[in-house]
Structure formats: C-alpha cells, structure tokens
Structure 1
C-alpha cells in the first residue's frame, strides 16, 4: 500500500472517518468472552465424560463414545485457545490504530492550512506574500510526510498483527458430520457452500449475510471479500463479462476496493457515484478530486472539466476561479489562459472585461493596452468619453457588444464579467465563458444553472452534457452525482440505470454492481430480484445461476429463469438468458420487455421497455432510462432519461419533445417542457436557447 501518493486531505480524513477503534475493541472483548466460555465448557465436558466412564459407560460401545467425547473436548479447548489468540490480535490492531490516529494530522489543521494558502494567494497582488506562501506550503509538506509516516506505521503494525493469526482448525477428522443441506463444515444455517456462514445461499466462508460469493462479507449479494454492505462486485454471472471482485468496501454497489460509499467504480473513494480512484466527493470521473461532478483529476471544487482546478465550472487546467475556459487563470469567466482577473476574452490579461490579450486594465478592446475602455492595440490611457469599448452597451467597462452590466467581453450578456455569448432578455449571466448560458460560472454551452462546464445542462456543477440535476460528470442524466451516462437517479457510476448507487449498467434498482438487474444489491447480472451474486436468477439471495426461487448456491440446467420466458405463446416469443416474466429477446430482466418487437430486446431491465439496453418503465428506444420516454424506432439509440420525453435523442428531464430527423441523431434537450433542439431550461419553443420561455 503506497500512502505517499495520497495528500493529507485524504489520509487524515480516512483516519478520522468512521467509528474508530471501538468496534475492534468490542470484537476483542467478544472473542475473549467466547474463549472463556469455551474453556469452561471443555473443562465441564471433560469432567462429565470422566465421571461417566468410571461409573456407567462400560463395554466396546462405551469406549467408542468415550473416544468421540474426548476428541470433542479437545476441539473445544483448541477452539478456545484460537479465540483467545484472535482477541489478543484484535486488541493489538486497535492499539496500532489508536497510535496512528494520535500521530496523524487532524483534518481541521489541514483545512486551515489550505484556507490560509488561498487567502494569501488571493491577496498576493504584488508578490508581497511570497515568503508566507512558501512557509504555508512547507508546513503542508510536513503534514504530508507526517501522515505518510503514520499511515505506513499503521499498515505495517496491523499487517504484523494479522500475520500472527494461525488458520482455524475447524474440526478433527473424527467428528466431521456431513449434512445434506449444510454443504461445508459448521454452517449455522442451511443452503451454503462453505464454512461458518451465518446466512443462506452463500458460496464462501465466514459470511454474515446471504447470497454472497466470497468470504467475510457482512451484507447481501456481494462478490468479493470483507465488504460491509451489499451488491458489491460483479461476478460475471449472467452476461459472461469478466468477473470483477470488490473487497473491503464500506457501502453497497461498488466495483472496486476500499471505498467508503456506494456506487463507485474504482478504489479508495470517500463518497459515492465516482468513476476513478481516491476521490473525496461524489459523481467524479477521474482521480484525487476534492469535490463533486468533476471530469479530470486533482480538482478542488465541483463541475470542472479538466485537472488541478481550484474552483468550479472550469473547462481547462490549473484555474483558480469560476467558469473559465482555458488554463492557469486566476479569476472567473475568462475565455483564454493565464489571465489575472475576470471576464477576459484573450490571454495574459491583468484586469477585467478585456477583449484581446496582454492588457493591463478594464474593458479594453484590443491587445497590449494599459488603461480603461481603449479601442485598438498598444495604447495607454483612459477613454473618458466612452468607458465601454464595445457597441450598444449599458453599463461600464464592457469590451463586447450589446451587453447590460459590467466587465463583459462577450456579446449580448446581462450580468458581470462574461466572456461568452449571452442569451439576451430573460437571462442573466455572471462569470460565464461559454455561450448561451443562464446563471453563474459556467464554461460550457446552453446551460441553465451554476458552475456547469458541460453543455445543455439544467442544474448546478455538471461537467457532463445534457443533464438535468446537480454534480453530474456523465451525460444525459436526470438526477444527482452521476458519473455514468443516461441515468435517472443518484450516485450511479454505471450507465442507463434507473435507481441509486449502481456501478453496473442498465439496472432498474439500486446498489447493483452487476448489470441488467431488476432489483437491488445484485453483484450478478440479468437478475430479477434482490441480493443475487449469481446470474439470471428470478428470486432472492441466490449465489448460483438460473434459479427460480431463493437461497440457492447451485446452477440449474435451464436456459432461462422465471416465468413464460422460454416458449412461444400468447405473449410472443421467448428467448435465452432471461429472468423475470414474459420477456422476449436475449439477456433481459424484469417484466414484459420487448413486447410486439420482432426479435425482442437485448439487455433491458424494468417493466414494459421496448428498446435495447434500457431500464425503467414503459420506455421505447435504446439506451433509455426513466419513465414513459419515447425515442426513435428501430435500432436508433434514444439516449433519454427522465419522465415522458419524446421525439428526439439525448434528452433528459421532464416532458421535453425534440425534433428528430432521420440521419441526424442529436437533439440535446434538458429541463422541463421544452420544444426544440439544443435547449435547456423551462418552456422553450425555439432552438439553441437556455433559460425560461423563449
């Protein structure tokens, strides 16, 4: 484990998140009490056996019974000793954790350091804060080193404690009693393949739950080990994909390891719906983001398309501000790079509202100027006659045209410091660099909301496109914190899901690591039911495949599970590899998918869906999720999510109708009640609009 790549924001928060060492101490106490009880039972059993042997047990049969009894007493004593060892090692792990937690930097100290750095950078207009900035950064490096040392020591100590544990000798050969419904040794409940499971339908050992494939899971339907949650991993059962186990997750529906959250595709995420590693937030695509809805890595903020941004809604890299299109800007609403200020259309400007490059001042239309409101290049001065260098402006320091406001270098904006093209009446923009946006800090196109670096979004901090909601880094989603595409719901890192926290694809339900499931907590695929780690099951808690029922760890010799999926009859043609009821096609789950469609559908979940790779209710068109969406007929993809959208493609939201033209597969609508193409917002009947009522 390489902790040196993780900043103190991650290491410190991970160490202080959760319940601390108390659960491990409680476990140690429980193992100690179990050891004492077993020792007492062994002593009592040995004493009773000795008394019976001396008085009542005589003959050959009695000798055989005495041998078995002595073996059982020895087994109790050995188990008691092992329980005592586990207790001691658990106490050791807790002690190592407490020592590491005492040595690590508190998250509030790290946050205070970063806040101080931001304050110094913002006020460093003339470089006077350079020594203080260097000191703060040096302190931050010391925090980083201190955290790495503490975490490495914790990992080494905990690994050493675990390594001292010896494998459990569950029974001696003389007292194994095979039972037909307990396949394995010492399962506490029936229907398991493995040992020491407390639950039903598990394949593996030491599971406290049901339907798991793996070991040490506390939950349902996991494929992997030591998960505290349900539906983690993808077993590959059902759709013949490559298995991807998930382990050490505290959450559900993850594909990856060591996530604290749900619906992640990756590892070491503290949050949900992320597609990447070591994110502290929600709905990110990339690594090491501190925020939500980012596409990229090392962002401190939300809704960025790029990397190393400190702020939100930026398209580019290393920006400090809002709504920049470009890189290394210190400010907001810039189109260009290396600007120190806001609302500049160009590069390397120091000031606000300049149209051009290398200007020092405000509202200049040109390049290499020093002053205010100058038109042309290489000038010095202030244009007192017209402080706006553009035309048709109402306000001050505008270098663009037809603006109402201040410091606008773009055209037709109503607001402050916009370098993009505005919408006009009924729309107000602040610090936007994209075109046709309504809101604050957007660098994309046709957005209604704040901090959107994607395009055609209605909402806040979306880095993806055509989303209706918040913090979506995927495309065409209706909901929050989705890093996948065409989702209706929350925290989905997979695609075309209707539900919550899905890392798989085309699920109608929640917390699924597998794909094409109708139900919850499935790590297998094409299941209609709950908590199945097997595939193509109709039922609950199955670790096997093609079962119709519950709690089965076995595979069944059939082509479909469920009802009326595999014959010609009043419901049309059946198919193969299907679960649920009355489905037609290949690889569907749910009910009545592909009705009246020649050949049926492929890989759909939910109810009455008539397109491939869909989820939800009553949708027509491929790649659609949600409720009653009507996309183009045939094999053309719909890419719709939301509620009652029709006549187009790439649509999310409510009651939108685009204009679909054969051969042109892009409509791009999001919002509520829109008619037209490339529209976001409310009740728009024209094309290429954002905001309300156009």
Structure 2
C-alpha cells in the first residue's frame, strides 16, 4: 500500500509500533561477528594450504591442491568483506529509521487533534467554533503532510542504503562448478535482480489532465488545487470549472460548499447569491429559502424582500406573512404598519382590512380601538389572540412582531419558533428560512448549525444534504469541502472516498483520480457503499455507524444507529440531526420526541428546550 495515501493515524502508528531499530542494530552486530569469523577462517585456510604446499607436500598433486583451494580462500576473504559491508549498511539503515521516526508525528499528537475536532464539533451549536474547526483541520493536513514527508525521506534513505550493498553473487562467481551456476541463475539471483530494479522514483500522486500546478488528484486541466473534477479551479474538491474555493458543485463560485453558479459566499443552493445558506438566486444575505432577490435573512417562498423573516414577496420590514407590506409582523398583503391581520391596513394592531388607525376590529374603519384587536392578549397592538407582547398578528405568541402562531421571540412569520426572523416553522435560532433548524441562517430544513441551504446537515455552509461537517455541496459526507457523495474526509469530488483530494471513487488515501473496485473505502466495514471506519450497513460515512433498516441512505457522522439517515453524533431513531437524539425528525441535542428542534424535548412539533408538551416553543413547557 502506498504510504502517501494513508492518513497520519496509520503512518504514525506504523512508525511507532513494533521493535523499532533494535532488530536492525542486532543484525549489524551479527554481521560484524560473521565478518570477523570469516576473516579468521580465510586467514587460517590460506595459512594451512600455503604451509602444506611449501613444506613436505611437493609435486604436481600439491600444486593442483593449492590451485583448487585458492578460489575458496579468496571467497572466504571476499565474504568477510561483504559481511563487514552488510554490518555497516545495517547500521546506516537503523540510523535512517531513527531519523524518519523522529520526523514522524507522534500518534498521541494525532489523537489529540482528532479529539479536539470532536470536542469542537460537539460544542458548535450555533457555528461559533467554525474558525477553530477549520484551524484544527488545517493542522491535521499539516500532520498528514509531515508524515508523508518523513516517509518519503525514509524511502529515499532506505533505497540509498540498499543501493550500497554489494551483491554476493559477484563474490562467488569465481567458485568452480555447480556453486557458481546456482549463484548466477538460481532463485536468489532472480530475487536480487527484482529488488535492484524496484520503484524508487515516483513521488507524486498524479493528476489526470495537464497544467495542474503543485496539486494532486485532479481530473481536468490547469487546477491550482487538488481533488477537483473540472478545470481552472483555485481550491479543492470542486465539481465544475473556475471555482475560487472548495467543495463547490458548479462554476465560478467564490466561496465554499456552493451548489450553483457565481455565488459569493458559502453553502448556497442557486446562482449569484451574496451570503450563505441561500436557496434561490440573487439573494444578498443568508438563510433565504426558495426565493430570489431578497436582501436580509431567513426570508421564505418569495422574492424581493428587504428585511428578514418574511414569508412572501416584496416586503420592507421583518416577520411579515404576505406580500407588499411595509413594516413588521403583518399577516396579509399591502399593510403599512405593525402587527396588522388583514390587507390594506395603515396603522398597527388592526384585525380586518382597509383600516386606518390602531387596535380596530373589523374593516373599513378609521380611528382608535382597544389596546388589542384580538382577545385574550396581554400587551398592546396585537391583532391575534392569546398573545403576550405587542404587535403580533398571529396567535399564542410570546414576543413581538410575530405573524405566525405559537412563537417565542420576535419577527417570526413561521409558527412554533423559538428565536427571531424565522419564516419557517419549528426552528430554534434565528434567520432560518427553512423549518426544524437548530441554529441560524439556514435555508434548508432540519439543519444544526448555520448557513446551510441543503437539508439534514450538522455543520455550516453546506449546499448539499445529509452532511456532518462544513462546506459540502455533495450529500451524506463526513468532513468538509466535498462535492462528491458519501465521503469521509475533505475536498473529494469523487464518491465513497476515505481521505482527501480524490476525484475518483472508493479510494482510501489522498489524491487519486482513479475509481477502485470497492465495495467500500476505509477499514472495518460490513456492508457496501461505506466510507470511513467500522461502519455496518450500507451507504454510511464516518465512524462506527450502524444502518440496520431498509433505507437507501445511510448515516453520516459518528456512532449513529437506526433505520435511516441520522446525521451527527450518537443518534438513534431515524432522520435526526444533531447529538444523542432518539426520536424521529428531530434537530438538536438529546430530543426524544418527533419533529422538534432544540434541547431535551420529549414532545412533538416543539422548539426551544425542556419541553414535554406538543406544539410548544420556549422553555420548560
């Protein structure tokens, strides 16, 4: 196996396990002893034969004996020299190993880096650890490169030591008869020839294309980056052309994890977005879903909004559910003001249409009504019912400017949210255009993190779906900047790879443009289509996941179990995103109910934390 394709966990373990240089040094000592004994034998043999030939044994027989014995005496002397050379080279080989081991990263440092990554990801509830996660992964790449450099040096040093060894065949060719024949034509000679012609040159990993500079594993031309399928990319793991960033699917994206064209930002699904987590086109902001030309955060199913948390089109303000509103918290169309329920109202807290004033119940009125137009409200300017706060056009809200129902917070056009600027439903966080998110600025659904236009992601900046990590435009990856599918690692544009910079498929290592036979990459799997380590079932990425159901999609992350598509860490059940969830379609941490986002929720369709009832937002309900 090529050591350049192995992660530091493997290379470091190979260098620090086993007996080390001790056996080689012991062999050097043995060769020294053999050289001394062969030298003494050669000297004694020569002395005896010389004494006989010059003493009492004279005549033709003595001369023939001396001539026959001379090659063996010479061979003993040559063998002593060869043994001494072998001892010297064994000592040199031990020194090369010790130098390579000193240059190799200690396995404890690799383990500490991976533990730090897990800790950062587990505590990255709202994406606050994104810079630290990126720095930790950058350090991991440096560890990988350091190990590869150490192994390259080891390979070169060992090859140089081997080249200095004098072949034993030359020393025994002078021996008469069958011995010389066996030395030049036998199996030992064939093996020595094979070793002498072994590979020692190719240190690159190889691109499939031309003009790729200081990069590996590209399929395409003129990439200044690695693992791309396409051309002229300045970054890694892209599928497409001209991307300035990593993990993009599409062309000319300036950022990471985008799925589209000319996006300036991260994790967008669409074209020409400026921001992150947008699903649509020409949005300036983040977390907008299924709309175009929005300026702001968390707008949904509409175009041309200037503000945040709107569900509709051409609103100027926040938390409006409708279109052409100027203001906040309006439920309807063409209202100017706050908290109106209806259309064409001018003022605030009106329940009806075509009203001018505030707190009016009915239509076509001018004047001042009660503090609230609805019933059961505590506060003022509420057009809905049973609100605590002000300017809510929805019902059962705690907060202000909510046009949806059952929210805890402000400016939510969706329902059952805990937070603000959410146009989707059952979110815990802010600026989410999708639903069931735990975090902020997510345009997709059931994400834990921020800036995800895709769905079922744990992390940030993912334009694809089902990923554990960040900047993935592909699906079901564990890692970062993958445009392919079901990878464990980074910047892979191919599928089912374990490692980085692979534009091919089913590779274990780095920088391969080829697709292997499969059925898995990585180690220790039972099943097929898996990447990573020790997964059971089909289609998993990450570590120790078990997909035992009949779903076509596996899990991504670490130690997930259940029937289908859990994303994150130690989730059971199905379709959960986050950490330690046991129900279904939950996002967050340790939720046991269903269709909820947040922390420790056992109810259904709830957001927030510690809610055991159904359809609850907020805390401890």
Please tell me the TM-score bracket, short chain as reference.
0.5 to 0.7
Whether the aligned pair in 1 keeps the contact of 2:205 and 2:512 (CA below 8 Å) is no
1:289 is the counterpart of 2:294? yes
Q: Is 351-360 or 614-623 further displaced after alignment?
A: 614-623
Report matched runs for 1:178-197 at 5 Å. 190-197=205-212
Counterpart of 1:604 in structure 2 is 555
Distance of aligned partners of 1:599 and 1:281 in 2 relative to their CA distance in 1, 3 Å threshold: closer
Distance of aligned partners of 1:223 and 1:335 in 2 relative to their CA distance in 1, 3 Å threshold: same
Post-superposition Cα deviations, 1:367-404, rounded to whole Å, max 9, x if no partner, equal: xxxxxxxxxxxxxxxxxxxxxxxxxxxxxxx1xxxxxx
Counterpart of 2:80 in structure 1 is none
1:272 is the counterpart of 2:276? yes
Counterpart of 1:616 in structure 2 is 568
1:348 is the counterpart of 2:379? no
Counterpart of 2:462 in structure 1 is 502
Secondary structure at 1:616 match in 2: strand
Counterpart of 2:608 in structure 1 is 671
Report matched runs for 1:405-444 at 5 Å. 406=371, 408-423=372-387, 428-444=388-404
**Of 337, 347, 360, which aligns to 2:343?**
337
Secondary structure at 1:351 match in 2: strand
Report deviation, 1:599: 5.7
1:260 is the counterpart of 2:275? no
Question: Hey, what's the Cα distance between the residues in 2 that align with 1:615 and 1:460?
Answer: 25
List alignment gaps of at least 5 residues for structure 1: 1-179, 234-245, 364-397, 399-405, 566-573, 632-637, 659-666, 685-694
**Number of aligned positions between the proteins:** 419
Say which one has the larger Rg. Answer: 2
Counterpart of 1:539 in structure 2 is 499
Report deviation, 1:603: 2.6
Question: Hey, what's the Cα distance between the residues in 1 that align with 2:226 and 2:390?
Answer: 53
1:324 is the counterpart of 2:261? no
Counterpart of 1:84 in structure 2 is none
Whether the aligned pair in 2 keeps the contact of 1:587 and 1:602 (CA below 8 Å) is yes
Post-superposition Cα deviations, 1:224-257, rounded to whole Å, max 9, x if no partner, equal: 1111110001xxxxxxxxxxxx111110000001
Question: Hey, what's the Cα distance between the residues in 2 that align with 1:254 and 1:357?
Answer: 47
**Of 680, 684, 690, which aligns to 2:617?**
680
Report deviation, 1:564: 2.0
Post-superposition Cα deviations, 1:447-491, rounded to whole Å, max 9, x if no partner, equal: 111110001100010000110001001110000100111100010
Counterpart of 1:99 in structure 2 is none
TM-score normalised to the size of structure 1?
0.59
Question: Hey, what's the Cα distance between the residues in 1 that align with 2:443 and 2:337?
Answer: 27
Whether the aligned pair in 2 keeps the contact of 1:182 and 1:193 (CA below 8 Å) is no
TM-score normalised to the size of structure 2?
0.66
Whether the aligned pair in 2 keeps the contact of 1:535 and 1:544 (CA below 8 Å) is yes
List alignment gaps of at least 5 residues for structure 2: 1-198
Greater share of helix:
2
Question: Hey, what's the Cα distance between the residues in 2 that align with 1:513 and 1:671?
Answer: 29
- Runs of 4+ in structure 1 deviating by more than 2 angstroms, as ranges, are 180-183, 597-603
Secondary structure at 2:367 match in 1: strand
Question: Hey, what's the Cα distance between the residues in 2 that align with 1:288 and 1:584?
Answer: 45
Report matched runs for 1:100-111 at 5 Å. none
Question: Hey, what's the Cα distance between the residues in 2 that align with 1:194 and 1:601?
Answer: 34
**Of 513, 528, 537, which aligns to 1:585?**
537
Report deviation, 1:534: 0.4
Whether the aligned pair in 2 keeps the contact of 1:222 and 1:232 (CA below 8 Å) is yes
Alpha carbon RMSD of aligned pairs, Å? 1.8
Report deviation, 1:584: 2.2
Counterpart of 1:240 in structure 2 is none
Counterpart of 1:639 in structure 2 is 585
